[in-house]
C-alpha cells in the first residue's frame, strides 16, 4: 500500500520529464552557477589581497587585516551555499539527461554543450572546496584568536585579471551592511551578500533608492555612511 501511495503521488513530469522540465532545470542551473561564480570571484579576490599583505607580528592589532578576514568568512559562507546549490542542480540535470524521455533532446551538439556546462560546474565546486580549505588553514585561526568588530565600507577588490577570469555573468557579489537597501533593485541589506548586475550599486535607507550608483567590485561592503568619530574598520 505504501508503494502504491507513492506511485500515485508522483506527477507525470516525475515519471516522464520532457522539454519543459529540462528547460526549467537548465534555467535554475544557470542561476545558481552565476551565483556561485560571483561569490567565488569575491572570495578569490579577497583571499588574494590577504595573501599579498604582510602579516604583522601581532595580527590582533591589525584592524584592517581582521576586517578583511571577517569579509572572507562572510563571503565564504555565501559561496558555500551557492556551491552546494550548484552541486544539487548539476545532479538534477545529469539525472534528467539520462531519462529516456529527455535523452533525445540532449543528443549531439546540445548534449556536448550541456556536458561542458556541467564540467564547468564541477570545476567551480572544486574551486570552492580548495578556497574553503584555504580559509580554514589561514584565516579562521586568526579570527578565532582575535576580537572582530566587522568591516567598514569598501568598494571591493579591483583586480582586472582575476575579474576577467571569474566574472562571466557580469554579477558582482557585495555585502550589504546594516539596515536599508541596496540599489538598483531595492534589495534588503540585512547584513547579507547580494548580487549586483553590471557592477554598479549603492546603499539607500529605503526603497526609494535615493542614492547614486557607482562602480563596485567583488567583495565590496555597502552600507550607511560612517558617522565621523565612529571606528571605521576595513577601509583597505
Instruction: Please give the chain's pLDDT, 236 residues, in tens.
Output: 444 444 444 344 555 667 788 888 889 999 999 999 999 999 999 999 998 876 666 778 888 889 999 999 999 999 999 999 999 999 999 988 888 887 777 777 777 888 899 999 999 999 999 999 999 999 999 999 988 767 778 888 887 655 544 455 689 999 998 889 999 999 998 889 999 988 889 999 999 999 999 999 999 999 987 654 444 444 44
Query: Which residue, chain included where needed, has cell 568588530?
Result: 149
Residue 87's pLDDT is 96
Q: Which set of grid coordinates corresponds to residue 158?
A: 579591483
**What is the Cα–Cα distance from 147 to 12, expressed in whole angstroms?**
55
Q: Which set of grid coordinates corresponds to residue 216?
A: 563596485
Q: Which set of grid coordinates corresponds to residue 214?
A: 557607482
Other CB atoms within 10 Å distance of the CB of residue 137:
9
**What is the Cα–Cα distance from 168 to 131, expressed in whole angstroms?**
19
Q: Which set of grid coordinates corresponds to residue 68?
A: 578583511
- Which residue(s) pair with 195 in the sheet? 173
HEC per residue, 11-27: CHHHHCCCHHHHHHHHH
**What is the Cα–Cα distance from 198 to 195, expressed in whole angstroms?**
10
Query: Model's pTM, two decimal places?
Result: 0.81
Query: 233: exposed, middle or buried (C-beta count within 10 Å: 0-12, 13-18, 19+)?
Result: buried
Peptide bond into 132 cis (omega under 30): no
Q: β-strands 192-197, 171-176: how paired? A: antiparallel
Q: Which set of grid coordinates corresponds to residue 179?
A: 539596515
Asked whether the beta carbons of 125 and 33 are under 8 A apart, the reply is no
Residue 13's pLDDT is 52
Contacts of 122 (CB under 8 A, 6+ apart): 90
Other CB atoms within 10 Å distance of the CB of residue 94:
13
- Which residue(s) pair with 222 in the sheet? 176
Asked whether the beta carbons of 63 and 151 are under 8 A apart, the reply is no
Residue 35's pLDDT is 95
Residue 229's pLDDT is 46
Query: Which residue, chain included where needed, has cell 549586483?
Result: 196
Residue 1's pLDDT is 42
Asked whether the beta carbons of 205 and 180 are under 8 A apart, the reply is yes
Amino acid at each position: 500500500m505504501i508503494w502504491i501511495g507513492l506511485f500515485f503521488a508522483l506527477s507525470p513530469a516525475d515519471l516522464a520529464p520532457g522539454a519543459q522540465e529540462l528547460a526549467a532545470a537548465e534555467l535554475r542551473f544557470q542561476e545558481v552557477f552565476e551565483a556561485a561564480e560571483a561569490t567565488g570571484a569575491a572570495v578569490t579576490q579577497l583571499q588574494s589581497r590577504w595573501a599579498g599583505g604582510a602579516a604583522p607580528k601581532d595580527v590582533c592589532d591589525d584592524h584592517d587585516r581582521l576586517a578583511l578576514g571577517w569579509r572572507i568568512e562572510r563571503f565564504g559562507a555565501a559561496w558555500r551555499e551557492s556551491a552546494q546549490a550548484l552541486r544539487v542542480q548539476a545532479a538534477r540535470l545529469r539525472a534528467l539527461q539520462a531519462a529516456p524521455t529527455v535523452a533525445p533532446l540532449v543528443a549531439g551538439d546540445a548534449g556536448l554543450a550541456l556536458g561542458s556546462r556541467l564540467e564547468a560546474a564541477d570545476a567551480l565546486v572544486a574551486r570552492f572546496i580548495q578556497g574553503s580549505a584555504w580559509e580554514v588553514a589561514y584565516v579562521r585561526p586568526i579570527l578565532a584568536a582575535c576580537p572582530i568588530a566587522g568591516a567598514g565600507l569598501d568598494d571591493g577588490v579591483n583586480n582586472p585579471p582575476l575579474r576577467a577570469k571569474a566574472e562571466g555573468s557580469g554579477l558582482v557579489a557585495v555585502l550589504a551592511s546594516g539596515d536599508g537597501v541596496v540599489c538598483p533593485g531595492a534589495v534588503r541589506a540585512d547584513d547579507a551578500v547580494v548580487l549586483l548586475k553590471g557592477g554598479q550599486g549603492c546603499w539607500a535607507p529605503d526603497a526609494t533608492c535615493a542614492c547614486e550608483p557607482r562602480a563596485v567590485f567583488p567583495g565590496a561592503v555597502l552600507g550607511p555612511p560612517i558617522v565621523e568619530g565612529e571606528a571605521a574598520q576595513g577601509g583597505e
